[in-house]
Amino acid sequence: MSKVKQAKRPLSKAEKRSKLINWSWLLVSLVVALIVWFCLSKGERTGRSFPFVPAVIDGMKTMLDRDALLGDFASSMISVALGFSLGFVTALPMAFLMAWYTPVRKIIEPWINFIRNIPALAYAPLVVIMLGVGRTPSVVLIWICTFMTMCITIFHGIRNIDNTLVKAARVLGANDMDIFFRITLPATVPFILTAVRLGLSAALTTLLAAESTGAQAGLGMRIRTLQTTFETNAMLGYIILIGIIGTLLNIFVDFIERRLTSWQEKREEA
Amino acid sequence: MAGEAGRGMSAGRDVKIKIEHVVKEYHGDHGTTVALNGVDLDIWENEFVCVVGPSGCGKSTLLNILAGLHEATSGECRLDGKPIKGTGVERGVVFQQYALFPWQTVIQNVMFGPQMKRLPKAECEAIARKYIKMVGLEDFEDSFPKELSGGMKQRVAIARAYANDPEVLLMDEPFGALDAQTRAQLQTELLKTWEQEQKTCFFITHDVDEAVLLAQRVVIMSARPGRIKRIVDIDIPYPRDQATKSDPRFMELKAQIWNEVYQEYLEVRK
């Protein structure tokens, strides 16, 4: 895997053009979003919820002055990083166990499918009662949600490995160990990356529930407190900030994906 | 039935593979399916045998048993007198779906077998280069499978099988997915390789032209239950090439075999 050499070649004219077109569309999308946002901010009722850009920036400045913004951001990122990491290191081996041992799959898979449909907010109090307030319950909630998403995704990936590849390796003299490290693992990498993408997204969407557990700081916790004081300027800013963090994480996964799975046959985009 | 076919050509040669009363049954949800029902066949050292028959006649099953990927329900296959148990590097397999490892470059794919023998890296590379050259892909050593055409992929798969220097080559409709021109070219190349570096070849196809062009003996299988219907000696001298297809004897044998296969096909459709 590490030996993947990527030919550095200049982009062809057609590729440059299609790249330019993609960026242009993104720009158009952004402009339209701003127009819609602007219209909403001018409406009598909608304006209360959607103040326009200057107001939001103002709101964020206030939060900076209150010494809240950076702390909230750091706190949330720590919870997300811890919860996601725990989710990942537990989901990966569990996915393999489920793929290899039928009893494990038969017992665990229904649990995951059952719990996955319950909003984390619903069982957050149970975790707090068990673990007390503070960072621990936040991390545990993110762990649970990311674990379920990633475990199922990786598990399906392992099951979908093309069996002919395993056969081909076998007839070339590979033993079980070789098959795991040279076939199963590299063949699973694309699914692991998809799992990471979904896991990160799950971590962010769980943030509000995770920080409803008596957290001292955090983006999710702040959004809730700002609700009570109707400070929509800052609130909208925080909401958008979560979206930006998600987008950046996605771009980061895209980058890793390109490096690790450039060997994949891509289906042509329509 | 199998009988004592191949008398004239087999004089003074050793039996490489002995297939004795092989039966294979699959137990599925809809009862038991008999894939092979008592197959007997002797394959001589360095012989080129083609197996033809309608889909579902168990020809792939037979190949999988010879490869050691499946086990016979009863009966036995022997290689040099020793019962076949599991896969072995002395039996190379080429699959219809190429089965190249997509995350590895051409040279890494071809090196796989030698690496499984734990040979030093330099030696693995030297072996791989030799066979990549044999199939004429020197310029594509560092390409990934996704960058190759179907014909090139199958050439890599053949080089990969050869790199293990097997005594027996088992090929499961290797050219089935290729267009007519590429197929013709690969047939010619395979004939040349076989004439130079003789190996025992067990080649499955449903293309009667291909079977008659390549083989010393063509084994016709009948479906339901899968067994050998007849064995035809192809008494056309080597070297053969695409021009052989206009030889009157070729056309005669082809018509004869085609008719029998078609009869079997009609039986299956009933």
Are B107 and B145 spatial neighbours (Cβ–Cβ below 8 Å)?
no
φ, ψ (nearest 5 deg) of residue B155: -65, -40
B38-54 burial, b at 16+ Cβ within 10 Å, e below that, comes to bbebbbbbbbbbbbbbb
Q: Is A222 helix (H, G, I), strand (E, B) or coil?
A: helix
**Every domain of chain B and the residues it spans:** 7-90+166-269
The answer to which of A23-27, B9-13, B70-74, B129-133 has the lowest mean pLDDT is B9-13
On the question of a cis peptide bond just before residue B237, with omega within 30 degrees of 0, the verdict is no
Q: Is the full-model pTM beyond 0.90?
A: no
The architecture in CATH of the region B7-90+166-269 reads 3-Layer(aba) Sandwich (3.40)
Residue B35 has a pLDDT of 86
Residue B144 has a pLDDT of 94
Question: Half-sphere exposure (CA, 13 Å, Cβ side) for A97?
Answer: 12
Percent of chain B past pLDDT 70, that is, above it, reads 96
Over range B85-114, report the average pLDDT: 93
Over range A152-176, report the average pLDDT: 93
Residue B266 has a pLDDT of 86
Length of chain B equals 270
Cβ of residue B67 closer than 8 Å to a chain A Cβ: yes
Measured between beta carbons, the chain B residues lying within 8 angstroms of A168 are: 93, 95, 99-101
Which helix (DSSP H) or strand (DSSP E) does residue B33 occupy? strand B31-44
The answer to whether the CB atoms of B116 and A183 lie below 8 A apart is no
Interface test with B, best of A160, A170, A171, A262 (most B CBs within 10 A): A171
What average pLDDT is seen over chain A? 90
Measured between beta carbons, the chain B residues lying within 8 angstroms of A264 are: 102, 146
Closest partner CB to A171 (pick from B93, B101, B145)? B93
Q: pLDDT tens digits for A170-212?
A: 999 999 999 999 999 999 999 999 999 999 999 999 988 888 8
Q: Quote the Cα angle for A195-A199-A205, to 5°.
A: 150
